[in-house]
Amino acid sequence: MPFPRASGLLLHPTSLPSQFGIGDLGPEAYRFVDFLSESAQQLWQVLPLGPTGYGNSPYMCYSAMAGNPLLISLEVLREQGLLNDSDLASVPAFPRDKVAYEQVVSVKLPLLRRASENFRTVASPAQRQEFQAFCQSKAQWLDEYALFMALKEAHQGQPWHTWKPELARRQPEALHQCWQRLAGEIFWHQFMQFEFFRQWSRLRQYANSAGILIIGDIPIYVAHDSADVWAHPENFQLDPTTGAPAFMAGVPPDYFSDTGQLWGNPIYNWEQMKRDRFQWWVQRFQAMLDYVDLIRVDHFRGFQAYWQVEQGETTAINGQWIEAPGTELFEVIAQELGHLPILAEDLGVITPEVEALRDRFAFPGMKILQFAFGSGAGNPFLPFNYSRNCLVYTGTHDNDTTVGWFNQLSSHEQAAVAEYLGCICADGIHWDLVRLALSSIANQAIIPVQDLLGLGSEARMNFPSTAEGNWAWRYQSGDLTEPLRDRLKSLTHGYGRAHSS
């Protein structure tokens, strides 16, 4: 459905300032919400919030429905009496501009475990009741996730399909024994989800009370080594002998890669999902709506047809398009959950069939200004070709920053951009694209914080098809200045994107 004219910023919580090596849901998150409010923004877009694994990618999580424990604020735990000053005093110095994930994990997880142990002993009856209510309300996915993570730790992090057959195949008696034997570890993972959800819900409520909606991100696929695949193998196309993906997800050669992108996620068993009226998807969307107000569906085109690559291939070149039941899926979700606050990431190889699926449900699509130049007046990313029901970005987490993008263009390409814009702003190309986005007819305009700050390629969030070295950028306290706030606020009001009141 179309949404009101508004604008906002793209920033994953890991990129917030913090003395604990990674952005979290503590004081700086509230200061960021204040900046959004004071600059007349109405949207905060985040990346997937799940618990990350190898490569730290939020698009490859151990659960499609759980939260990332590394985002839990240690300062909030101290305020609750679950940690004390001496616990936090022992925290070492971390890099300020990057997330040092291995160091963060080695320091933060033991403190979260200590908080969990303290909760067992000092929690009030009301807090215990709140914890039990949370576990019961989320039991449909929380029990599976907590047991999966406990088993994964017991197997030194090895993927589930390499575990003993009785555990990989989820034989009830074996799982019952593990539930009893690993009760302490299971409680720890339940506690971390309880605390994440409590902190996130409080932050979301604070944002909503300031007139800010949170846009979440739902990856189309889940990681093979995840609680979702382990607990519901019938929903995926797996090798019946090894449990490995029989077919892998990805995309053919595109803007980002000459060999395509081979993601490695297992392909869905759509026929099985249709038989039970897509209940796993309904549950997943319901879980997302517990976290966010609007849902950006990543790789939307995969709900019309998806790129399938056989196991054993090393690139995504030798794949094929397979039709998906997207219309049936979204009709069922609408019947089960009602209004669908969905935004469609419709980038890549987009066909009339994909557009028809998007438009059938009036989902807004995405426009990227970095893609707008160099191919003539018919380029769909040029603002004069937009419809109102879309989101415009200067770039996304998968793009270079606007400054980095512009600096890597040839002089001829830079001249073409300058000709379209009329000139390049003395304050930098990033302000030209911010202005272009805000002034467009697109109902929503989203600006990555890196572009607001005018940062170069060093601040890029992700290099697609590169497994390591991503997702680490952070801004620092003091970067979001009053002059920056005022300039953004002036543009937002000037282009009709502030609250009408």
21, 97 Cβ separation under 8 angstroms: no
Q: What is the dihedral of CA 312, 317, 318, 321, to 10 degrees?
A: 120
346 is catalytic: no
Between CA 108 and CA 303 the distance in angstroms is 38
Between CA 35 and CA 41 the distance in angstroms is 8
Residue with tokens 């601040």: 459
In whole angstroms, how large is the CA radius of gyration of the chain? 23
Between CA 120 and CA 82 the distance in angstroms is 10
Backbone angles phi, psi at 250, to 5 degrees: 175, -165
Which helix or strand (DSSP H or E) is residue 295 part of? strand 294-297
Nearest to 78 by CA among 157, 160, 195, 190: 195
290 is catalytic: no
If you count DSSP H runs as helices and E runs as strands, how many of each does the chain have, helices first?
Answer: 19, 12
Q: Where are the beta strands (DSSP E) in 139-289?
A: 213-218, 247-251, 261-266
Burial letters 90-111, b for 16+ CB under 10 A, else e: eeeebeeebbebeebeebbeeb
Residue by residue, DSSP assigns 360-385 as HTT--EEEEGGGSSSS-TT-TTSGGG
Nearest to 218 by CA among 328, 316, 303: 303
Burial letters 337-365, b for 16+ CB under 10 A, else e: eeebbbbbbbbbeeeeebeebbeebebbb
Among the options 345, 346, 400, 451, which is catalytic?
345
For the stretch 102-111, contacts whose Cβ atoms lie closer than 8 Å and that sit 24 or more positions apart, written own/partner, are 103/21, 104/20, 104/21, 104/22, 104/70, 105/70, 107/20, 107/21, 108/20, 108/21, 108/22, 108/69, 108/70, 108/74, 109/69, 111/74, 111/77, 111/83, 111/87
Tokens, residue 428 = 């930098």
Among the options 38, 87, 328, 398, which is catalytic?
398
Q: Three-class SS of residue 10?
A: strand
Among the options 87, 298, 313, 479, which is catalytic?
298
CA dist 328 → 266, 289, 346 (Å) = 21, 20, 18
398 is catalytic: yes
Specify the amino acid at residue 371.
Answer: F
For the stretch 166-169, contacts whose Cβ atoms lie closer than 8 Å and that sit 24 or more positions apart, written own/partner, are 168/230, 168/243
7 φψ region: left (φ > 0), alpha (ψ -120 to 50), beta (else): beta
328, 277 Cβ separation under 8 angstroms: no
Catalytic residue numbers?
Answer: 298, 345, 398
